[in-house]
Amino acid sequence: MTLHDDPAELVNAFADGKNRFPTLLRLQALGDAALTAVRDGVKHSNWHVRHWCAIYIDRHGSEESLHDLLPLLTDPEMNVRLWVVHSISCMHCKEYSCPLDLVPLLLDRLANDPATRVRKMAAAMLATLPSDARVPAPLAASLARETDAKLRLHIARALAVHPRH
């Protein structure tokens, strides 16, 4: 393994602002050998590292690595929270079952995240989940208070999946 193939070095390279996408591709090429370094990277002090590690975990993580992302749902950086919401809940991107109860996590982000983009992602991801009786009332409350047209559209789509009974 060369220095350029060392997973920890590659994860740290996300901080420098150069070649982040090629770095992601190199980590992906390492397969499971990169996952430990990526899981450590979600705790990194640099938000770019946390952000790109969340992106990696979306398609190349594990059931265990999804748990590593949970503290980042309230990360100070919006781009980190956005990718965490996607990474924990997009099952289209996974080859395994999600071990998390996503409904309360997504409803919390929809109700409490200060960033409209994160709330949109939470609503969009709720629309991909099976119907759940816990969802309609909070979605209706969000629809009543939100003014962003695209966010309202995502909420309406989620309400179609989670109708009141």
Q: What percent of the chain has pLDDT over 90?
A: 88
State the residue for tokens 């594990």: 62
For the cut 60, the answer to whether the pLDDT of residue 129 exceeds it is yes
Complete domains list, the chain, with CATH: 1-100 (no CATH), 101-165 (1.25.10)
Reading the block at residue 59, the tokens are 């398609």
pLDDT at residue 1, rounded to an integer: 44
State the residue for tokens 């119907």: 131
For the cut 60, the answer to whether the pLDDT of residue 2 exceeds it is no
Pairwise CA distance, residues 77 & 164, whole Å = 34
Q: What is the pLDDT of residues 31-53, one digit of tens each?
A: 999 999 999 999 999 999 999 99
pLDDT at residue 95, rounded to an integer: 80
pLDDT at residue 91, rounded to an integer: 85
State the DSSP H helix or E strand holding residue 137, giving kind and residue range, or none if neither. helix 136-145
Reading the block at residue 131, the tokens are 């119907």
Reading the block at residue 20, the tokens are 């982040």
Q: What is the pLDDT of residues 11-27, one digit of tens each?
A: 999 999 889 999 999 99
pLDDT at residue 96, rounded to an integer: 82
Reading the block at residue 161, the tokens are 């999946």
pLDDT at residue 4, rounded to an integer: 67
Q: What is the pLDDT of residues 65-123, one digit of tens each?
A: 999 999 999 999 999 999 999 999 998 877 888 899 999 999 999 999 999 999 999 99
- Per-residue DSSP letter, 114: S
Task: Give just the sign of the alpha carbon dihedral 141, 145, 148, 149.
Answer: positive
